[in-house]
A = this chain, B = another copy of it.
Amino acid sequence: MSRIGLIGGTGALGKAIARRLAKAGHEVTIGSRAAESAQAAAAEIGAAGGAANEDAAQGQDVVIVTVPYSAHASTLAQIKDKVGGAIVVDATVPLVPPKVMRVQLPAAGSAAAEAQAHLGEGVRLVSAFHSVAAHKLDHDGKVDCDVLVFSDDVEARKVVIGLCEDMELRGLAGGALVNAAAAEALTSILIYMNKNYGGDGAGIRFTGLTTAPALP
């Protein structure tokens, strides 16, 4: 069991991740700009508690950041001095409205690279959860979608792949943090496909892998 803070945890993706992690037995704290909203969301999904983002980032084993790209830099600045030795998982995708079906990667190459710059080299940063639609995690059971997990910290990557398993998702290592660019860019393709092929939550599965974790 880990202590896990969900920063931006009242949003659709954050709340859905928090619910599955709480259900798996983790001690989950929802974070939000307003502590009251966080506490209400925590009560709704069965998390241990709710707090302001700064407080939810403190004293955790894992801190998961799920905020819109427009709030990325400011949120990381808020939690930077709170996360300590925790693994920080960034799920941010650099979508630039209104053209969200168009790949528009930031100058640094990825939101993950930007996060590393914001948080500093000492932070155990992981990038994950880009390609899973929030509403697919809202109910129990398996989800037909792999989660790519990127980090330069191999141990941290393993921990997050384990959390995916706890959530009935298959997490797959995708290599170094810089490789998050691929998953971030892919999100615009999935949004395009939802529109073009009428799906309600396009996802990806990787094929041809001999020793990958089994599907949940």
Interface residues of A (CB under 8 A from B): 101-103, 105, 109, 133, 136, 144-145, 148, 172-176, 178-179, 181-183, 185-186, 188-190, 192-193, 196-212
Contacts and interface: CB of A to CB of B under 8 A. Distances in A.
Report how many copies the assembly holds.
2
A209 B182 contact: no
- A interface, by DSSP: helix, strand, loop or mixed? mixed
Contact of A203 (B173, B188, B207): B207
Given A174-B189, A192-B174, A192-B175, A210 B181 contact: no
A148 to B, nearest CB: 7
Contact of A197 (B105, B178, B210): B210
B192 A206 contact: no
A182 B175 contact: no
A186 B186 contact: yes
B199 A188 contact: no
Contacts of A174: 189, 192-193
Contacts of A101: 175-176, 179
A204 B207 contact: yes
B185 A181 contact: yes
